[in-house]
Each structure stands twice: as structure tokens, then as C-alpha cells.
Amino acid sequence: MPELKDRILALDVGDKRIGVAVSDPFGFSGSPLGTFLNNKDFFKKLEEIINQYKPTKIVIGLPLTLSGEEGEQAKKTKNFAKKLQKYFPNIPIEFEDERFTTDIAEERLSVLLKNKKKKKQKLDSISAIVILESYLSKNPL
């Protein structure tokens, strides 16, 4: 049986919503934990998630431009990460290039769901899984 690994949380941070995913106990894949409003209550919800899953790292998708540079949205994401680090100082934060993650997530959802409203509700958490899978493929636990 494979050895249990540390868990990693992945966040897809948007202006309105944040998708959250967690790695499985073996570090092979991720599971969606939901999509939450990006507001003051998010940190309380994230604290509950952290207490439940005990992640040793948080990976945040960094929305680079197509040319690989940091634009306005990447700056917002880094500011969010600074707040997050103050709230959870003992959990390291890393960034993962999230270019095309929404496209990949939409493709996955189009196979699974036909209802547009349900797709929109799940898109950010599926994007967080794509970010996590990308990170795990480059940084196996």
C-alpha cells in the first residue's frame, strides 16, 4: 500500500469566488472542497478546512499573462496570499502558474454536466484541482 503523504490545499482565487481543493492522502490527485465567496468570512471557512485536513502547504494559482508575465490579477492574487500568510503563518504558500486552468476545468465539466448553472458553481473548485494536479506533477510528495 502506498505511504500516506502530507496534504496540500490548492486555491483558485478570483475577485468574487475562491475554489478550494485538497490533495488525497497519497499525493496522487485532488478533490474539490467547494467554491466560496471571496469575502471576510472566507478565512473562517478556510480555518475550518485547515483544521480538518491539516495541510502542510497551500498552493495558489497565479494568473500570469499569456506571455508569462504578472499582470494586475497576479498582483491581486499575491496581495491575497500576503493576507493569507498573516492569518496562517505556519503554513508555507507557493504559487502555481494557472494559465489555461479554467479552460481545462470547463472541458472536464462539459463532459460531466450539461446544466450551465451547476457548471458555473463547480468551475472554481475544479480549477483548483487542475492547479493542484499541475503542482503535484512537478513536485511529487
Q: What is the pLDDT of residues 1-48, one digit of tens each?
A: 555 578 999 999 999 999 999 999 888 888 999 999 999 899 999 999
pTM: 0.86
pLDDT tens per residue across span 35-85: 999 998 999 999 999 999 999 999 999 998 888 889 899 999 999 999 999
φ, ψ of residue 58 in degrees (nearest 5):
-120, 130
Q: Which domains does the chain have, with CATH numbers?
A: 8-138 (3.30.420.140)
Give the Å distances, CA to CA, from 51 to 41, 87, 95, 99, 101. 16, 13, 22, 30, 27
Contact 118/112 with Cβ under 8 angstroms?
no
